[in-house]
Amino acid sequence: MATPHINAKDGAFAETVLMPGDPLRAQMIAETFLEGAEQVTNVRNVFGYTGTYKGKRLSVMAHGMGIPSASIYTTELIKDYGVKNIIRIGSCGAVTPNIKLRELFIAMGASTDSKVNRMRFNDHDYAAIADYTLLRTLVDTAAEQGKKVTVGNVFSADLFYGVQPNMLDVLSKMQVNVIEMELAGIYAVAAQYGARAAGILTVSDIIPTGEATSAEERQTSFRDMMEVALDAAIK
């Protein structure tokens, strides 16, 4: 049955859904990497597709920007469409220049300045973590492909503009080396509704220096990340 934000038929999604932030990226992934991909939902132009990859059924759907948007789509996919595995594929900003542009980063945990997990967890601090099996599959797949990845704690920020300057020092000191905007919410939604989630990110910018990937570099690093995510998704 359709939900307020997804108008797909029952059973329209595969057990595993790859989730970029951007709907057009979801469309591009479906057209480039999936065979026989069909669009299964388009509410608010947040596109979702199901097809096959190396013979296995696989879906891709955007989650939008920020924890509120990502929480809506992941909740409805898991609760109403029976999705079991969610792999976020996205970009992140590095907190220190020690992390290099285009690096692949797998999020073992996600810290946040959002209050959503305190709302879920009697106002205590919930440790938002990736599913271990999914995390390990991503790490192993990257190793098989000869790709270097960093595994660590990310910061899921509510503000893209306006992160306090001293926050970068705090994050760096606590070994939280990249910022993105969704995983703390996605990991908690997966836990709440009994699914598995993990995230793989490419470093698109170095926050303290303002350095950012060129369009061409973004394409290469995106492909590197997609190869890992796709092969991990069908294991």
Binding site for ligand ADE (CB under 6 A): 91-93, 157, 160, 179-181, 204-205, 207
What's the CA gap between 138 and 102, in Å, rounded? 17
**CB-based contacts of 132, cutoff 8 Å, min separation 6:** none
CB of 203 to ligand ADE, least distance (A): 8
CB of 169 to ligand ADE, least distance (A): 16
**DSSP character string of 58-106:** EEEE---SHHHHHHHHHHHHHHHH---EEEEEEEEEESSTTSPTT-EEE
- Angle formed by the axes of helices 215-233 and 132-144, nearest 10°: 120
Give Cα 25 to chain centroid, integer Å: 13
CB of 201 to ligand ADE, least distance (A): 8
Strand partners, 106: 151, 200
Our CB check for ligand ADE shows the closer of 91 and 111 to be 91
**Strand-pair category, 196-206 with 56-61:** unpaired
Our CB check for ligand ADE shows the closer of 83 and 203 to be 203
Catalytic residue among 22, 140, 158, 205: 205
- Angle formed by the axes of helices 183-193 and 66-81, nearest 10°: 20
Q: What share of the chain is helix, strand, coil (3-state, %, to 5)?
A: 35, 30, 35
Residue 80 φ then ψ, to 5°: -100, -25
Residue with tokens 């595995």: 85
Our CB check for ligand ADE shows the closer of 51 and 199 to be 199
CB of 157 to ligand ADE, least distance (A): 5
CB of 156 to ligand ADE, least distance (A): 9
Our CB check for ligand ADE shows the closer of 64 and 93 to be 93
Our CB check for ligand ADE shows the closer of 34 and 186 to be 186
Residue number with the shortest CB distance to ligand ADE? 93
Active site residue 205: yes
Active site residues: 205
